[in-house]
A and B are shown apart, each in its own frame.
Chain A
Amino acid sequence: MPSRIRAWVSSVRRSIRSIDEAQAAMRMLLGSWSVRRRKRHEPLATLVRRFAGQASGTSGLVPARVIDLAWLVCRASRGGGHGNCLERSLVLFRGLGEAGVRPELWFGVRAGDPRSGHVWVMLDGVPAGDDPAMLGDYVPLMVFGADGALTSGSDAVAPPSISWARTSEVKRLAG
């Protein structure tokens, strides 16, 4: 096992405080693997609905611990770094839902680059583990409610508008 992964596994073991947390972490790990497999052939809305409101073993945990565990597990499952945002967010979204709160799943793209997307979870208007300064680089496009339904799209990406060239410019172009 590479030393980096060994270090993360060791970190997960140190961070888990009870049997309940160990079980929840295991369910989260399985969930993140499931997302990794399914995201290649399932549309986003189907994935979100699949995860919304499902049992994740976190019903006895407080939301702050669910957030810590989801970040920890998803980092470990990827061998370090920040993990994958979709895997982490769906696992966290499901875990928080079962812990009795109503999270929202946000989807955005980096301003000016629609190919660079990011998914994150918001709880009571606050990012669940994501750095708010980093999220400032993203334009929110969609929000899914705790039941997995699309609650709102965004007007943040305004369509290009048209303006008319002055007559002199048109003449110069024609000339």
Chain B
Amino acid sequence: MAWPGVAVYGFDSTGQVTAYPERGAAPRDVQRVFLRAVLPAVHQRLGWQALHASAALTSRGVLLFAASSGHGKSTLAYACRHSGLTQWADDSVVIGLTSSGAVTLALPFDFSLRPETTRFFHPERGAGVQLLGRIERASPATAPVAGICLLHRFDDDGQVRITRVEPAVAFERLLPHACTFSMAELDERRRTLEEYLDLCTRVPVWDLRYPAGLHRLAGVVGTLVHHVETQPAGAV
């Protein structure tokens, strides 16, 4: 796997990665690309799936936030952490799908907050500071997938709305967020499609529509966690 200007990464069948840095590449950039791009790709090659999403751990398992870059998934995951939950991922989530259920694996990751977001969560740091950090690995290191939220942030002053998405529609809308590193091979493509279909059937996918504004985030997290943790699990 080549990352121009940084390194070429090779990995063996056990997943161990060797980096061949380009001349002048900064070690921190080699490590950053490893965490952000190479780790999910290696896992996908080893039989897991990788979804472009951030995530937080609730009492019902891991809740994923899928959205395109710049649509608030990192901020929402950090807001979950600020509310006392464990932040599970910032940019990609590795998922294992078996006939018995969907499980996700915690990986180390870097996170970064924009200056205005940093100032909101950490006013003591002053203006113009971008918060950067690394989470070595969430604990516990594995947990079931509780659900997936497709994020929609809007500008008016409306309420948080959470609506279940039908599996067929969810599949169509989730697939663009799949990290597809090796779709050139037909078998790999088929496996990815089958597993995402399975995931959308077995795990609830919700549309999460929430108002913009950092001061609203705590309320959004509270509503969302309440929704997930009070999903009915009645008598059999």
Q: Interface of A with B (CB < 8 Å)?
A: 30-31, 34, 39-47, 49-51, 54, 85-86, 107, 109, 112-119, 141-142, 149-150, 152-155, 157, 159-165, 169-170, 173-174
Contact = CB atoms under 8 A, between A and B. Distances in A.
B34 A41 contact: no
A40 B141 contact: no
Given A40-B201, A109-B98, A160 B234 contact: no
Return the 4 tightest CB-CB contacts between A and B, nearest first.
A153-B140, A117-B98, A44-B101, A160-B15
B48 interface: yes
Contacts of B142: 141-142, 153-154, 157
Contacts of B137: 159
Interface in B48-66: 48, 59-61
A163 B10 CA distance: 10
Interface residues of B, number: 58
Contacts of B146: 43, 45
Contact of B202 (A40, A142, A159, A160): A40
Interface string B155-174: 00000000000010000000
Q: Is the interface of B mostly helix, strand, loop or mixed?
A: mixed
B79 interface: no
B23 A163 contact: no
A154 B98 contact: no
Q: Is the interface of A mostly helix, strand, loop or mixed?
A: mixed
Contacts of A153: 106, 139-143
A162 B236 contact: no
A115 B60 CA distance: 22
A70 B36 CA distance: 45
6 contacts: A43-B202, A54-B235, A86-B100, A150-B143, A154-B141, A160-B16
Contacts of A173: 8, 20
B72 to A, nearest CB: 24
Contacts of A40: 201-202
B21 interface: yes
Nearest to A86: B100
Contacts of B231: 46
A157 B143 CA distance: 12
Interface in B103-120: 103, 105-108
A113 B43 CA distance: 11
B19 A163 contact: yes
A152 B57 CA distance: 13
A142 B20 contact: no
B59 A149 contact: yes
Contacts of A113: 47
Given A43-B147, A107-B101, A150-B143, A49 B107 contact: no
B42 A141 contact: no
A107 B103 contact: yes
B32 to A, nearest CB: 11
B211 interface: no
A109 B100 CA distance: 10
Given A86-B101, A114-B98, 5 more contacts: A46-B233, A112-B46, A159-B137, A160-B11, A164-B21
A29 to B, nearest CB: 12
B61 A150 contact: yes
B236 A31 contact: yes
B99 interface: yes
B47 A50 contact: no
A43 B16 contact: no
Contacts of A50: 233-236
B102 A109 contact: no
A98 to B, nearest CB: 12
A121 to B, nearest CB: 13
